[in-house]
Amino acid sequence: MKFLKCLMIISVVYVNAQPDSTKWKQYSRVGSVSVDSTSGFFGFFRLNRKTDVTYKDLRLFAYGIQNQSFVYLRYKSSNKYGVNSKFYRYTITSVRKNTRVDMDLQYHYNQGFGYFANQYKNGLINIEIGHGFDMSDYLNATRKTSYLKGGIFWDHNTPWFSSKLEYEHFQQISEIVESNLSRNQYIFEVIFPLSGNLYVNLNIEVEDFLIREQTDASSLTLAVGWEGDIRKLF
C-alpha cells in the first residue's frame, strides 16, 4: 500500500513538472473570391490547438456570390503515437452547404493514419491514408457514399513567404447509384507576411472528378489575414 502511495505521488509530481506544450493560434481572413469566373467576397476563421502529441483544428469558410452562398465547416483531430513518433491517427468531420449547386447540406467523415515522411528545418511533408464517406443530402436522405482516401501534404517556409501544397484522392468503393464520385482535390496556398501579424494570402482550390458527367469545381481567393493568439490581445 505504501508503495502504491509513493508511486502515485511520484506520478503526480512528474506530470506537474512537465512543461506545457499547448500552443493556441487563430487565423482570420477577408477578401475576394472567384468561382467559375464569378466574383464575390468571403470570410475565413480558423482555430488551432497543438501539443507535442495532439492536433486540433477547426475551420469555417463562407462566401457570397450573386445571391448565392457557400458555407464550409471542418474539424480535424489527430494524435501521434508518441512524442517522437512519425505516425499518427486522425479523424476529419465536415459539413458544407452550397446554394450554387443546390446542395442543402453535405456531411463528410473520414479517418485513417498518417506519417511524417520528411520533417526538415523549414517545412514538413506528411502522407495520409484512410477510409471515408459522405452523405450528399444529409437532411433528407440516408444513402452514404464510401471512399478510400490517400493524400500528400507539403508545408514550406522561406524568409519571404510560406506555401502549402495538398493533393488528395477519393476513390469510390461503394455501389455507384447515380454516378461515380471518385475525384482528386488540389490546394495551393501562398502567404506573404506584412507588418505585425498581418499577411496576404493567395489560395487556389480545384475539385477534379474522374468522370465527365460530374462538374469540376475551382476557386481562387485573395485575402488579407491575421494570425496569432487572440487571448494576448485582451
> pLDDT tens digit string along 70-81?
889 999 999 999
215 or 16, which is more confident?
215
Give the C-alpha distances (Å, rounded to integers) separating 204 from 35, 81, 177.
10, 33, 31
Per DSSP, the three-state class of 197 is: coil
Q: Name the helix (H) or strand (E) containing 17.
A: helix 2-17
pTM attached to this predicted model: 0.83
pLDDT digits (tens, 9 = 90+) for 29-56: 999 988 777 788 889 999 999 999 999 9
pLDDT digits (tens, 9 = 90+) for 88-104: 999 999 998 877 656 67
Is there a contact between 69 and 99 (Cβ–Cβ < 8 Å)?
Answer: yes
- List domains and CATH numbers for the chain: 20-233 (2.40.128.130)
DSSP secondary structure letters along 150-166: EEEEEEEE-SS-EEEEE
pLDDT digits (tens, 9 = 90+) for 139-187: 666 778 899 999 999 999 999 999 999 999 999 998 887 778 899 999 9
